[in-house]
Structure 1
Amino acid sequence: MERLCLDCGTPIKGRADKKYCDDSCRSNYNNRLKIDDNLVIKKVNNILKKNRAILAALNPNGKTKITSKKLVSAGFNFEYHTYSYETQNGNTYIFCYEYGYLLLNEERYLLVKREESLG
């Protein structure tokens, strides 16, 4: 039985466990397998970057109150964030990297910036 390259379909010569005719075909095959995962990750990262940019632009001083309309009209997506933080008194801050928000009521948010060093 003739073995064929998993990427290009050409006959393979050599070891019995060889799956690809060369390194280029091996790379192409594996890249094609990962493309769907990479597209999802890229889409989520773009949403997170946009959310962070919106929070940074609307909160230049590190702490401010803002209406929900302003966030929505800027294109903020509330479904995506990097983490949440619950305070001792039960308030939950939602963060997109170092920028976050706290829901004050149905129409208002408190925007904050967390000052932390990465080192």
Structure 2
Amino acid sequence: MRRLFITCLYCKKELFGRTDKKFCDPQCKSAYQYKKSKELPERFYNKVDNQLKLNRKILKKYNKGGMVTVRASMLTQEGFDPNFFTHYWKNTKGDVYLFAYEYGFFRKKERNLDKYVLIKWQNYMGF
């Protein structure tokens, strides 16, 4: 009877032991599953969650003073997408601030430039 050579699905080394063995060690199994999951199309939830986290990171980076105005192009160059937000707050003037977690933004035109007013969530805003 001839023995067939079975190789690890990840590193292609020859396997010994059980005939139904697929990986040479737990690291190869983990690396194979990680690689396989990266080949699958990204799930909708992951896309939304990743964009919200990126938006928060960018807003936090530029809002060092509690209330800051920055050019919209600065944020969008870093990957900011204003279509992704967690909640909103409307001030007494009727301006609607969109939030990515605790960091908010309000789009406005100033001297023909698109800008964002950045704020941080405060207790008086409720919840």
Q: TM-score, normalised by structure 1?
A: 0.61
Counterpart check, 1:110 vs 2:110: no
3-state SS of paired residue (2:43): helix
Percent sequence identity over matched residues?
Answer: 32
Question: CA offsets, 1:47-96, max 9 Å, x none?
Answer: 10000000000112221110011111111011110011112221110111
Deviation at 1:101, TM superposition (A): 0.8
Separation of aligned partners in 1, 2:116 and 2:44: 29
Q: Report the counterpart of residue 76 of structure 1 in structure 2.
A: 80
Are 1:62 and 2:66 counterparts? yes
After superposing on structure 2, the runs of 4+ consecutive aligned residues of structure 1 that deviate more than 3 Å are none
1:99 maps onto 2:106 in alignment: no
Partner of 2:45: 41
CA distance in 2, matches of 1:68, 1:110: 9
> Normalised by the size of structure 2, how large is the TM-score?
0.57
Structure 2 match to 1:4: none
How well do the aligned residues superpose, as a CA RMSD in angstroms? 1.9
The residue type equivalent to 1:110 in the other structure is: V
CA drift at 1:104: 2.3
Residues paired across the two proteins, number: 80
State the partner residue of 1:20: none
Query: Secondary structure of 1:107's partner?
Result: strand
Query: Aligned partners of 1:103 and 1:43: how far apart in 2?
Result: 23
For structure 2, which runs of at least 5 residues remain unmatched after alignment?
A: 1-41
